[in-house]
Structure 1
Amino acid sequence: STGPDPVTVSAGVSVRTRPPFDPPTSIRCVVRNRDTHEIYGDSGTNDELENGEGSVVVSGAVPRTTFFTVNVWMEGTSFADAGDGVVLAEQIVQ
């Protein structure tokens, strides 16, 4: 968010098993401050993946003039394929 107003950042990502690696057992996604790591939005952990496939969505309000990142974590495997993913930011006019 490099403008004078905050933004709402929404993101979604899906994962799937990549043989020969074990399937992921959970996935989590956060929107956070690139420098301080303050979390603006947290999907929580999705541990109900079916056959190692699943998705999460997250949304958070990012303050104005703040650099942000969207990070994804998974457990249960050392490698998986990312499926569909998207990050959207919408300015909040005050």
Structure 2
Amino acid sequence: MLVEVKEIQVRHNGTLYEKGASFSLPANQYERIKAHVIVLDEEDEPAADPDKDIDEMTVPELRAHAEKLRIDLGEATKKDDILEKIKAAAAAN
């Protein structure tokens, strides 16, 4: 499910999301933060194809990929910024 932060910051999986930021989360985790977010899309995001090149992934796929790898995206919301964070984390490991 894709949600957007309403007013106060929301922490999800170690990442702090500011007002207006959107992120994906499993539907079963929605209940604990529902007062602080707006649902943008109720469908669960598809998992990223492991054979798909990271540069070809969509923003939701990149977010899911980063979450799976426990990469903190900080305030990155644009594809280029998310890619930069993921590639930097990969280079650091």
- Shorter chain as denominator, the TM-score bin is under 0.3
**TM-score normalised to the size of structure 2?**
0.28
Q: Mark the structure with the bigger radius of gyration.
A: 1
Q: How high is the TM-score relative to the length of structure 1? A: 0.27
Structure with larger RCO (C-alpha < 8 A, sep 6+): 1
* Higher fraction of helix: 2
Between structures 1 and 2, the one with greater strand share: 1
